[in-house]
Chain A
Amino acid sequence: GENVEQHPSTLSVQEGDSAVIKCTYSDSASNYFPWYKQELGKRPQLIIDIRSNVGEKKDQRIAVTLNKTAKHFSLHITETQPEDSAVYFCAASRGDSSYKLIFGSGTRLLVRP
């Protein structure tokens, strides 16, 4: 069935370092890949997304790369700051009329001051 695996489950970095989170998906029909940030007790919020017709997308300190052949995509955060500390979820969708997202299990990122 459809599945998204996410690694690592926890990640601790020093402020200013980079953080990389990786996801692998199983459904080859997936073509929409969003990343959500969820702070404790808060709603998931979209931070960046990418579609299958693009290999990389950047938004300031955040970038996402997609390798459709290998069925994996990654989130890169550069120059991390303490406020980046949160749980990050990757997700995959077929991008059709259904908004069904298959989420990964999440990565708890801790940025140490």
Chain B
Amino acid sequence: ETGVTQSPTHLIKTRGQQVTLRCSSQSGHNTVSWYQQALGQGPQFIFQYYREEENGRGNFPPRFSGLQFPNYSSELNVNALELDDSALYLCASSSPYLAGGYTGELFFGEGSRLTVL
């Protein structure tokens, strides 16, 4: 079973630039969520994609956007980068819904560490 993979692992950008982060979900998972983890803090929910549509969003501005593709992989795009966007960006995939409910467990990737100078 292939786990969640993210790329790139590390990158450095300057203020005002744009960045695209990529995620391949675990085999058989059709839901992808993105989280931002600032240094020393817990992950914060950015948004979730299910069947190629945004299905829930946290308290992040519109310059954070995403996509999900037919193979369930996903992208996170951040425009007009700010210094506070420096963080570890985690992608997580989830098991399909089961009859009568869902499993709930998130499987995280290793993350993309973004530094904005």
Contact = CB atoms under 8 A, between A and B. Distances in A.
Contacts of B92: 99
A43 B109 contact: yes
B110 interface: yes
Contact of A99 (B33, B90, B109, B110): B33
B90 A44 contact: yes
Interface string B1-33: 000100000000000000000000000000101
Interface string B73-115: 0000000000000000010101001000110111111110000
A97 B102 contact: yes
A45 B108 contact: yes
Interface of B: 4, 31, 33, 35, 40-45, 48, 50, 55-56, 58, 90, 92, 94, 97, 101-102, 104-111
